[in-house]
Homo-oligomer: A and B are copies of this chain.
Amino acid sequence: MSERARRPTVKEVAVRAGVSPMTVSRTLSGGLNVKPDVQQRVMEAVAELGYHRNENARSIRPGHSSGLIGVAITNIANPYYSTFALGVEEEAALTGRRILLGNTSEDAAREADLVGDFLGRRVDGLIVVPAGTTSAHLAHSQNQGVPVVLASRRIDGLAADSVVLADDDGAHRGTSSLLDRGHTRIGYLGNALSIFTGGRRYAGFVRALEERGLTVDPQLVATNQQTVDQAREATRTLLDAEHPPTAIFCANNRNAIGALKEISAQLGDGTRAPADFPEIVSFDDFELAELSPVPISVIDHDPRELGRTAARLLLDRLDGGERETPPRAIELPVSLRGVR
């Protein structure tokens, strides 16, 4: 590809500038105690050779860190998480740090692998949307002085900083708003109850019903949809039931979108009107919710801010005085918003 397919080192820069490697190093770290004209020469050599300090070599020296933050996400392709990642990236970039990104596909074993790999790469810290409920790998990271921040989901028994949403409150308010509008048969579509958000949102849903003296009809509850297609399938089952719900609470955007797709498809045959279909409440806003053929409200929150907050918690531990403080558990508020 080129005559010189090697990356220059301090030594080469030094030779070219006619100085010692130390002078190059000093110049590159601010130029303290280096004569201006020498600095000049060094910088020229750097430019001519296209030299970049080897950060990996630097990071193995005592005291130095890698400037890397490991981010383990369950599904990068979900706009919610990718926006989250953007928030992390932005905040990390402010401190000159970079993001090492890994996708866990909601698989705890993969997550553990990933964390091990991240530790091997000497990340300064970890931001994790945990896929499982085991925390050995994360506790291990902390034991080695690599702080962990949990985002969106917490893990019982792991003393780590965390940012989560007001899942219970949001689900409660969303469900209550449906009850206020007179609904009594309310369906529930969500991810597994064993997942932190799944369990909490379901709890809020149930609490709202029980406050009004209603009990949950198991026929109307489906809680294992991870993808839009699965959600759509579950919606079909709900709609085809003998007594279909008049409203559906969707615990996340995957499920809400699946529901809308199914409703829209069934409307397509022209035999029924939008009023024949349940109204929707979705935990998570999403693009084009306003095109819904049925009334929809969303429990809104800002994934980017979630990412920023997670990053700030971590950076506090790394750069701030928060080395040894007890874990902080932040719960970000959500807001209920009628979309149509």
Contact = CB atoms under 8 A, between A and B. Distances in A.
Contacts of A122: 7, 54-56
Contacts of A79: 77, 79, 82
A144 interface: yes
A59 B2 CA distance: 22
Copies of this protein chain in the complex: 2
B121 A56 contact: yes
A50 B122 CA distance: 13
A92 to B, nearest CB: 10
Nearest to A340: B268
A120 B5 contact: no
A100 interface: yes
Nearest to A56: B56
Contact of A142 (B1, B75, B117, B304): B1
Interface in A247-299: 257, 260-261, 264-265, 268, 286-288, 290-293
A289 to B, nearest CB: 8
A59 B265 CA distance: 54
A103 B90 contact: yes
Interface string A1-36: 110111110000000000000000000000000000
A278 to B, nearest CB: 16
Contact of A288 (B99, B144, B145, B261): B261
A240 interface: no
Interface residues of A, number: 68
A257 B143 contact: no
Contacts of A290: 261, 264-265
A102 interface: yes
A66 interface: yes
A41 interface: no
Interface string A223-252: 000001000000000000000000000000
A94 interface: no
A170 interface: no
Interface string A77-105: 11101110110011001000011111100
A8 B286 CA distance: 45
A254 to B, nearest CB: 10
A73 B277 CA distance: 41
A140 interface: yes
A304 B59 CA distance: 33
A117 B292 CA distance: 44
Given A4-B143, A261-B288, 4 more contacts: A55-B122, A56-B56, A79-B79, A89-B103
11 contacts: A1-B323, A7-B145, A52-B120, A54-B122, A55-B56, A57-B60, A89-B102, A90-B103, A99-B101, A228-B287, A286-B288
Interface of A: 1-2, 4-8, 50, 52-57, 59-60, 66, 68, 75-79, 81-83, 85-86, 89-90, 93, 98-103, 116-117, 119-122, 140, 142-147, 228, 257, 260-261, 264-265, 268, 286-288, 290-293, 304, 323-324, 340
Q: Give 8 nearest A-B pairs by CB, closest first.
A: A82-B82, A5-B145, A291-B291, A56-B56, A52-B120, A2-B143, A77-B86, A101-B101
